[in-house]
Structure 1
Amino acid sequence: MRAATNVSRWTRRSTVLGGAALGTLLTAQLGLVTPATAVPDLVRVTSTGPSTSLAKTQNVTCPAGTTVIGGGGAITGSGLGQVGMDIVQPLMGGKAYSVTGREDENGVAGTWAVTATAVCAPAPKGLVAVTGHSAPSLGSSNWFEKSCPVGKHAIGVGGAVVGASNSELVLEDLRIHQNSVVVAGAEDGTGFDGSWWLDATAICADPLPGEQRVIDDSAFSSNALHSVTATCPAGKRVHGVGGEIVGGNGQVRLTEMRATSSTTVTVGAREDEDGFSGNWKVRAYAVCAS
């Protein structure tokens, strides 16, 4: 897939929305003990914003001396199938990770909150972020793949659906392959009368010690809610996070895609308020290393 790209150490993008909540209510750090040859001082940092019914952005900042190597987030509260994580990406020179949640065009009567979670560490060897943007689309779905520089592996991913003022566009996929990331999106069940595109960021580095990708799927069914957890093998820790909805056709929104412990990545999604008669599932990606 297509369009203009740029390569830089890190790409900064600031997202400003009405009612944006950037204050941190909770920050928790979990140190991971690793061999001397692995990425040292790995930590998982989480920040949760206030519960309101407004579009909002939550940022989480890495501790001094560390940088983002992976990240994700979650939406909690009311109307989860109507609230999309539309922007999920690193910010500010790689020192923070940002998650934006927005309601669909029908709105939500209750309140909900955004959580952002970052995996942080001193920059591993060869760390670089590469960004790209798909061409504008008038179709009901779109996808964009961004490759790492030759010889480097993808360890983290960021993405966004761009073009709507609310969550009429669904961010469905943030996949991490060995040498690239894929970001995919779709119009919601009511469609979208306009052009839109995808932003993608691949966080890349030289191959990590003991690097391994663990992929796990939920059941494939027409249940309204699906969740799955990918777990690293013994002796390995989560360095990167990814997830996707398979078969949702724009009628399912991600509610969670984040490192839930030092060894696990959890991905969850829920159907929109009209439901979805088809079968679908979610898939979790954990980039593990020793």
Structure 2
Amino acid sequence: MKTKSYVTTLLKFALAFTFAFILLILANVNVEAKTATVTNLKETDIEPYENPDITITWDAVSSGDQTIYYRLETSEDKITWKDEGSYYEPTAKIHAPSGKSVFYARVCAYTAPYDYAYMDDKNLCDIGNWSDTLKVVARISDKTSKIIGTKATAASLSFKWAAVSGASGYKVVYYPSGLSDLSKELTTSTNSCTIKNLKEDGSYAICVYALNSNSDFTAVSNTYTETYATTLPKKIRDFKVTTAYPGDASFEWKGINGAKAFQLQITKVSDSKKFKNRL
């Protein structure tokens, strides 16, 4: 009886040990590979150079006293992914694929022993949780062109220009000629704009940049198209008749800097007939 009891005790101990060992293995797999999903992945900066570094950030993931690593992948089509390596901090600098102004990124968090060979195991994230896919934008290489003025008033100037392929919008920078430190800007989603609240009879420089945007970040092209334009005065000043003969008269006026044409309107008082002539 004692022998049977002893064997039973050993069997119970062996089963308990085996069960505990299995739990330990499962826990170890969970600790070393699967962690919380990375969130708030976004683009935060782009260097002002050719083939610039693009900065990607995300919220840090916590896993108790375990060391967290992050794996970053990029893709041109969200189907085929390229490994960009592992990172210790929730930030990375990457480059856009050659010739691409839009591509995609995703990040996975995982834990691993402090071992470079293990840390670079690409299978770790297969059982981890990838972040939502981020649309990453780079600068558009083509610049705006063929900017022309379409309308001028005493307080506004209107322009249009050739659309740039891939641009999500445009930034228009303007300032009084020679006074770039007084520059202001506006953005537009179309290849045209009207600049308002300008000074009467003023000369302005206008620069147009192409934009490439996602939900959180806008990349501004390094190149731009520039033109100059002048607002109109509110009215003609010092208008007068200089000579008058039967059937003929001469006039002059002042204060119209930058105007390219004038329209003269003559009203015959006796029968209120109007005669217009573009000069």
Q: TM-score range by the shorter chain?
A: under 0.3
Q: TM-score, normalised by structure 1?
A: 0.25
Which protein has the bigger helix share? 2
Query: Which protein, 1 or 2, shows the higher relative CO under an 8 Å CA cutoff with sep ≥ 6?
Result: 1
Q: TM-score, normalised by structure 2?
A: 0.26
